[in-house]
């Protein structure tokens, strides 16, 4: 969905999956070794070429123990194992009744709510508005199953509230709500 929303691309190969959003953010352009590779060097090179052709920075990931030969091939290509990505889950999703009075959350369904979402995303993550607009393009609205929510309020309190409610990264506290 993210590749489609950003007019990016997806590479599916033998035991690899790679997503390029086209955005200059490595975490938004990732390749994964999903199974044992018959030719790790070739498959890894295929992912590297995919990202190089897109002109984006990227991250390649091999889950520890999935394919030791791929880990070794990546190390030999100058990409040694360097971190463990923690599993993430939002469970259970919090009760919406915990939201403070005066806070509204609206589904992003049209250009107007998309523009508010982009603005709040940019402010909330401290990114340029242009990057938020690239990340959440109008094409997002046409993707089946894609859901986003926005609140017209912003402040640093929102991130903690979002973790508690599970509603949206755009859920913000009442301090700047009008």
Q: Give the pLDDT confidence of 89-118 residue by residue, as tens digits.
A: 666 666 666 767 777 777 888 898 889 888
Confidence band for 88, pLDDT divided at 50, 70 and 90? low
CB 1 within 8 A of CB 18: no
Chain-centre distance for alpha carbon 3: 10
The model carries a pTM of 0.60
- Tokens read off for 34: 């999903």
Give the three-class secondary structure for 10: strand
Domain ranges of the chain: 2-76, 96-176
Note the pLDDT of residue 119. 87
* pLDDT bracket for residue 152 (50, 70, 90): low
């Amino acid at each position: 969905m993210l590749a489609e929303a950003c007019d990016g691309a997806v590479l599916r190969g033998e035991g690899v999956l790679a997503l390029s959003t086209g955005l200059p953010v490595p975490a938004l352009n990732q390749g994964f070794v999903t199974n044992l590779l018959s030719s790790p060097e070739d498959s890894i090179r295929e992912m590297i070429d995919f990202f190089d052709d897109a002109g984006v920075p990227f991250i390649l990931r091999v889950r520890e123990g999935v394919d030791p030969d791929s880990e070794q091939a990546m190390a030999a290509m100058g990409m040694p194992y360097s971190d463990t990505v923690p599993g993430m889950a939002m469970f259970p999703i919090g009760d919406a009744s915990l939201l403070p009075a005066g806070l509204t959350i609206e589904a992003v369904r049209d250009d107007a709510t998309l523009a508010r979402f982009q603005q709040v995303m940019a402010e909330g993550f401290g990114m340029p508005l242009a990057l938020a607009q690239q990340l959440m393009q109008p094409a997002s609205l046409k993707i089946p199953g894609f859901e986003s929510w926005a609140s017209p309020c912003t402040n640093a309190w929102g991130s903690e509230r979002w973790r508690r409610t599970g509603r949206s990264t755009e859920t913000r506290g009442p301090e700047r709500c009008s």
